[in-house]
Amino acid sequence: MAGIRVVHYINQFFAGIGGEEKADTKPFKKEGVVGPGSALQAAFGEEMTIVGTVICGDTYFNENLDTVIPEIIKMIAGFNPQVFIAGPAFNAGRYGVACGAVCEAVARQLKIPVITGMYEENPGADMYKKSAYIIKTGNSAAKMRQAIPAMAKLALKLGKSEAIGTPEEEGYLPKGIRINIWYEKRGSARAVDMLIKKLRGEAFQTEYPMPVFDRVTPRPALKDLSKAKIALVTSGGIVPKGNPDRIESSSASKFGTYDLTGFDDLTAATHETAHGGYDPVYANQDPDRVLPVDVMRVLEKEGVIGSLHNTYYATVGNGTSVANAKKYAHAIGLELKEAGVDGIILTST
């Protein structure tokens, strides 16, 4: 089989090695297609050939960024590719970050077209949409059949150096690039047309879409803080020593629930941070800097607050998707409500 040479990057799960228990798999390469590469190759036909696949565990990648990217680039370069494809990662946060980071490095160092696929709320999508073409996918591998044809179609265009259409035409996430286009109608006339359609309740397509952000209605202020039970929740990654729940340093797939009974102070001997997005030295020296248990115990003894809830919740905000953050917040909120907590202090970094 001839055609344009392609190298494909996938994680341990899609390579069939295993799930989370194999996420520390070190990078290695294989000749030809592996996993979803078979579907990509079928979509390419005779025009493109996947000559090699590079595989790396998600945890290993995200915990060894300084060394793993040069190692993977060397493997990719060894196949002498003309196009590079990663994923698709769907809504898998650490996988998405890995796909985006490798695409960015390949584009910068090997000077070839790069493409990946992600759900729009994958943290990797927001981090790397300016560095790579990211085909918009569903939020799980159940949407693989829709993702593969779209990725293959755009990859063929990139490989042939054909003109790339708009995000709406090609199915990729907007890269923040604006180009001049000639229209028959001037801008003011198009704006009036859109306004009329909006007033009539008709469908219309804006030429300058704006991001949509959630709005959270603030709760009423606590009437008597001296009788309130207050809980601590953190996205700063403060966990018991040894990180017993193995919360990831980036794109956390879980949160932890930990007991504060008997703790008036967090020390380097009892707690640490699992967070990989900031310098951990000062948080590890004194975890109270991120999760202020010491101060809360003082306020509790002085009667400023009624009590400190003896359970705290922790996760890592670094690269964690909006969808996962919402899921964690809902689960934690239900537990705190059941425990009769009146207020929450949410700490970050």
DSSP string, 190-235: HHHHHHHHHHHT-----SS--------PPPPPPS-GGG-EEEEEES
According to the model, what pLDDT value does residue 221 have? Answer: 92
pLDDT at 277: 79
C-alpha to C-alpha distance for 92 and 31, rounded to whole angstroms: 25
Residues 7-42 as b/e (b if ≥16 CB within 10 A, e otherwise) read bbbbbbbbbebeeeebbebebebeeebbbbbebbbe
- List of the chain residues with pLDDT < 70: 1-2
Given this model, what pLDDT does residue 324 score?
82
Query: Given this model, what pLDDT does residue 2 score?
Result: 64
* pLDDT value of position 193: 93
pLDDT on residue 1 = 52
Query: If you average pLDDT over every residue of the chain, what do you get?
Result: 91
How many angstroms separate the Cα of 66 from the Cα of each of 72, 77, 109, 146, 174? 11, 18, 15, 34, 28
Is residue 15 within 8 A of residue 93, CB to CB? The reply is no
Domain boundaries, the chain: 4-170, 225-347
Report the SS3 class of residue 83.
strand
The superfamily (CATH) of domain 4-170 is: Cobalamin-binding domain (3.40.50.280)
pLDDT at 219 (0 to 100)? 87
Show the 3-state SS of 160-181.
CCCCCCCHHHHCECCCCCCCCC
Q: What is the CA radius of gyration of the chain?
A: 24
